[in-house]
Amino acid sequence: MLAATVIAVAVSSCGGGGTEQPAAEASSDTSGDDVVAQPPDKTWTDAVAAARQDFDGKVSKIELERKEGGGLEYKIELLSPDTKFAVQYDAVSLTQVSAKRESLGDDAAKKQQQTFDPDALISLDKAASTARQRQDGTITKWKIEGESATCVTSVGRPTRDTDAAGRPTLAG
């Protein structure tokens, strides 16, 4: 069973690297299934840009995972003041797999607090390196949601570090 190694991303202070394509990470347990060491043709920034062409909103989630039947897909969520736009793209071609819009309802203000600036994130390469320092393994998917990031590895355990304000930070 896969377990998550949570690596922290301090959205407001990390800076730099949000638009970088991650470099291949050398790890003793890296295989062809590692989505960071063997990234897809299109980057997560390409997927966010494609989603923003269809919907004007703030980013609340970016995820890369395997599709049923093979291949990789990005899942992007954007929020406007009253609507959530969730879209999935093939990670090789950026062909839209699915898209839906739904009302944020009464929780709109709370959900808006979970948005983040993707350009303020640390690079995925650095986040993966931190995850591998805590638990070596193959990263089979990753997700950035709110102020946290998750790398799911073939081995691992939940870990989390926070700063004095309770925000996630890079462990190390």
What is the domain-level CATH number for residue 130? 3.10.450.40
Tokens of 74: 């990005």
Percent of the chain with pLDDT over 70: 66
Give residue 19's pLDDT. 34
Residue 128 lies in a domain: yes
Q: Mean pLDDT, to the nearest integer, of 43-69?
A: 93
Domain count for the chain, please give it: 1
Q: Residues 6 or more apart from 68 whose CB is under 8 A from it?
A: none
Residue 138 lies in a domain: yes
pLDDT in tens, 16-53: 333 333 333 333 343 468 888 889 999 999 999 999 99
Residue 141 lies in a domain: yes
Torsion of CA 110, 166, 129, 47, to 10 degrees: 10
Residue 158 lies in a domain: no
Residue 171 lies in a domain: no
Give residue 30's pLDDT. 39
Residue 13 lies in a domain: yes
pLDDT in tens, 98-135: 999 999 999 898 888 889 888 888 888 888 888 888 87
Average pLDDT value over all residues in the chain: 74
State phi, psi for 63 to the nearest 5 degrees: -140, 145
Q: Choose among 74, 107, 115: nearest CA to 91.
A: 74
Residue 163 lies in a domain: no
Give residue 172's pLDDT. 39
Beta-bridge partners for 98:
88
Residue 170 lies in a domain: no
Residue 87 domain boundaries: 3-153
Q: Is 20 left (phi over 0), alpha (psi -120 to 50) or beta?
A: beta
Range in 26-30, 47-51, 77-81, 157-161 with the lowest mean pLDDT: 26-30
